[in-house]
Amino acid sequence: MQHSGLSYWERESFMDLDIAIVGGGIVGMSVAASIKDRWPQRQVTIIERGCIPYGASTRNAGFACFGSLTEIVSDLDIMGADQARKLLFNRWLGLKITRERLKSYDIGYEDLGGFEIVESSLANSIDRIAEINELVEDFILDYIQLLKATDQPGLRLNDKQHLVSMSQEGQVDTGKLLKALHAYCISIGVEFICGSKVKNFEALHGKTSIHVKDPIRGDLELKALQCVVCTNAFTQKLLPNIKLNPGRGQVLITEPIDGLQFRGNLHIDEGFYYMRNVGDRILFGGGRNLDFDAENTMKLGLNNDIQHQLDQILLKYLRLEEQPKIDIRWSGIMAFGKNKMPIVRLQEDGLIIATKMSGMGIALAGQIGEEVVGIFEENNL
């Protein structure tokens, strides 16, 4: 007689899924929420490898932003006006959807504004402000404004740098946002299987067979009518045909700083550096461009050279009396590609892919959920 790994009850109630979502970050949960909001009777299950998400969504900087001046200028040059505009609109729409969905939850949203210090090497971006404002004027009026250095007394600027602001930009408490989204998903009946890593997929008579590693039971096979893959940078491990580049982002947060003046988000150097206040602390991250090869990794960890550089340039941009004490340093993994457009599509094997957020998932996630619902509708899934 053979002992089955599964009980009768487990086999009957847990192994056959309607819609499986792989990855429980902000995108996976937003996709689950959009599907369940649209079709409350359908069963939606998120399969997440960590006990809490383990990628970028709980490890980011919490900018609720659409793009800084020099970043948009670079996007315009690489992607052209139509694509760059579409991306800005999708970020704006995505954030609107998320804030509306979570309006009765505390996500720590603060309307403190977004700023950019434009270095002299990128000063020609200033000539593109009118062009960009015109591109987005039907959804954000007067998006970018040129300011005087004295408008932000907490920042340190030299006379070759420019200061601009991005309107409608705010910040969230990343932890509260993710907990709120989780609570919202639970409230509408989304189910979660956590601590189980998906190993691979197989198309199986109109269903997808999902091979999962349960830390206690070992290998399990779940079957789903539809499966949406929301594993961002880690997608390539599961689906090597999806081309994207992982990018590690490193962050530090200081201890509270007495007399800290700066409030809001600060972007520097096409978004490669980002700084914000968290109460009286400063969160500062970036520097991936200092060592692209080493940071093109799915491994969480710190690069001492980059962390040292972050320590150095903190005082370059902030008017502080002394080097602040650092509380925690950490990293998270993002997904990039040739351009910044996310990958959202139905594949021939029946899998739906929603990945490659290019470091802007907080804003995009709400819109990605709606785009996936559109794929279900168009294909009668």
Ligand X SMILES: Cc1cc2nc3c(=O)[nH]c(=O)nc-3n(C[C@H](O)[C@H](O)[C@H](O)COP(=O)(O)OP(=O)(O)OC[C@H]3O[C@@H](n4cnc5c(N)ncnc54)[C@H](O)[C@@H]3O)c2cc1C
Cβ of residue 159: shortest distance to ligand X, in angstroms?
29
The gap from C-alpha 182 to its chain's centroid, in whole angstroms, comes to: 15
- Is 246 an interacting residue with respect to ligand X (CB under 6 A)? no
Cα 242 to Cα 248: distance, rounded to the nearest angstrom: 18
| 50 contacts ligand X (rule: CB under 6 A) | yes
Residue 197: what are its φ and ψ, rounded to 5°? -95, 130
- C-beta neighbour count of 348 within 10 angstroms: 6
Give residues with Cβ within 8 angstroms of 229, minimum separation 6: 22, 23, 235, 238, 239, 351, 352, 353, 354, 355
Task: Kindly tell me which of 278 and 360 has the beta carbon lying closer to ligand X.
Answer: 360
360 binds ligand X (CB under 6 A): yes
- Which residue lies nearest ligand X, judged by its C-beta? 55
Q: Mask: binding to ligand X, 256-295, rule CB under 6 A, as x and -? A: -----------------------------x----------
Q: Token pair 């505009």 is at which residue?
A: 85
Tell me how far apart the alpha carbons of residues 32 and 236 are, in angstroms, rounded to a whole number: 21
What whole-number distance in Å separates Cα of residue 299 and Cα of residue 247? 10
CB under 8 Å to 327, separation ≥6 — which residues? Answer: 252, 253, 254, 255, 281
Stretch that binds ligand X, among 8-16, 68-76, 139-147, 358-366 (CB under 6 A): 358-366
Rounded least distance, CB 52 to ligand X, Å: 8
Query: How many residues contact ligand X, by CB under 6 A?
Result: 40
* 232 binds ligand X, rule: CB under 6 A: yes
Note the residue count of the chain. 381
CA-to-CA distance for 156 and 320, rounded, in angstroms? 9
Q: Indicate which single residue of 67, 170, 249, 324 sits in contact with ligand X (rule: CB under 6 A).
A: 249
Complex with ligand X: residue 62 or 350, whichever CB lies closer: 62
Pick from 34, 45, 60, 303 the residue near ligand X by CB under 6 A: 60
Residue with Cβ nearer ligand X (234 or 317): 234
Binding-site member from 87, 198, 253, 320 for ligand X (CB under 6 A): 198
Chain positions contacting ligand X, by CB under 6 A: 22-28, 47-50, 53-57, 59-63, 197-198, 230-234, 238, 249, 251, 285, 332, 334, 357, 359-363
